[in-house]
Amino acid sequence: MFGHNRGVRSAEEALTSEFDSPRARLLGLVYRLTGSITDSEEVVRRTQPRSVAPRSHADPSGDAPDEWLCGPPGKLSIERALAGAARREHYVGPWLPEPIVTRQANTRTPDPLETIGRAEDVRMAALRVLQQLTPEQRIALVMHENFEIPFDRIAGLLGCTVTAAGQYASRARRAMNEARPPQRVPAAEQHELIEALLTALAAGDQWRLARLLHPHVSVHGDSDGKARTALRPVYGRDKVTRFLLSMMRKYPSATLLNPRSVLVNGDPGLLLPGVRGDGTSQGAVSARVVGFAVRDGCVAEIHDIVNPDKLTRVSYPHGGV
């Protein structure tokens, strides 16, 4: 997924060709390091990268490092990554990156953040694993393999030896390769699979639903204790089937039949508005973004993001709460 994986490099080349600017590259760096759109935009604002010339593509080798990232932008990015890791120690339940939500069909020119969200290594399944690494491993891997910054410069930023910086990246690369996030499949196939999943959920068809799930499917909920979802990851086809049917019974059938289809970090997803219930906490369901990762023709990962702090940029259909 990293290193010499052509898919990742192609995604990064697409980003720089469409948005060849320090701002776009810095957004991509900070989002990978922190999983936070807020932190990414704040670092860009504070370092004002527009005043710095972007990497030159005139070099036929194409391997010139982003020297400007080793200055204040890089230092502030690392500072945010370390601070974010400290905050997660007190997070309630699993932690997922802040989602980049875009429409399925977007005729307008996307902004840099939307383009970043289409990169192979920024898909939610991959980014979830990346964020589980230690901050030093994540920093060394992303800065070296996505942004071609040499280990001696990374070592200076981390305050470690060059050998240690290389070891951080090597351990991170090994962990990412072992995780093997689901490979991308054609968009039409993904769309058909999610439509079939929603139909099975709306009908309460446990047998049909189970057939659409990968044997090793997992659900990862993110709430920080502020909304209802799984407080721990749910693993396995049987347990996930029961969990989904339990959650979806709380939604009106019309909501399930007319969800808003979106892309969540480039993969298929849904926006589900909140349900107020009967005026009490009973029957109320929080608004959420649900992302899906597909492998072997089945849903392999489900990302249920309900923490309202991570959904401030999302517009829900029908005035969702």
DSSP string, 109-169: PPPHHHHHTTSGGGSHHHHHHHTTS-HHHHHHHIIIIIT---HHHHHHHHTS-HHHHHHHH
136 and 42 together in one domain: yes
- Find the CATH number of the domain harbouring 205: 3.10.450.50
Residue 317 within any structural domain of the chain:
no
Residue 256 within any structural domain of the chain:
yes
* Residue-range definition of the domain harbouring residue 226: 187-310
From 127, 162, 179, the end of a domain falls on: 179
Residue 165 within any structural domain of the chain:
yes
Average pLDDT over every residue of 91-101:
96
Residue 180 pLDDT class (50, 70, 90 cuts): confident
Residue 59 within any structural domain of the chain:
no
Q: Which of 9-13, 45-49, 62-66 has the highest mean pLDDT?
A: 45-49
Average pLDDT over every residue of 217-228:
95
Query: Can you tell me which residue has the tokens 């058909």?
Result: 192
Least confident of 16-30, 200-214, 281-295: 16-30
Residue 98 pLDDT class (50, 70, 90 cuts): very high
Residue 162 within any structural domain of the chain:
yes
86 and 231 together in one domain: no
* Mean pLDDT of all residues belonging to the chain: 83
Residue 315 within any structural domain of the chain:
no
Contact 181, 303 (CB under 8 A): no
Those residues with Cβ within 8 angstroms of residue 158's Cβ, 6 or more apart along the chain or in another chain: 78, 136, 139, 140, 164, 165, 168
35 and 167 together in one domain: yes
- How far apart CA 219 and CA 191 sit, in angstroms, is 19
Number of domains in the chain: 2
105 and 191 together in one domain: no
Residue 93: how many CB atoms within 10 A of its CB?
19
Q: Is 52 a residue whose pLDDT tops 60?
A: no
Least confident of 73-82, 100-109, 205-214, 268-277: 100-109
Residue 151 within any structural domain of the chain:
yes
Average pLDDT over every residue of 165-184:
87
Average pLDDT over every residue of 125-132:
94
From 146, 179, 212, the end of a domain falls on: 179
Average pLDDT over every residue of 189-218:
93
Query: Can you tell me which residue has the tokens 């970043």?
Result: 116
Q: Is 174 a residue whose pLDDT tops 90?
A: yes
Q: Which percentage of the chain shows pLDDT scores above 90?
A: 55
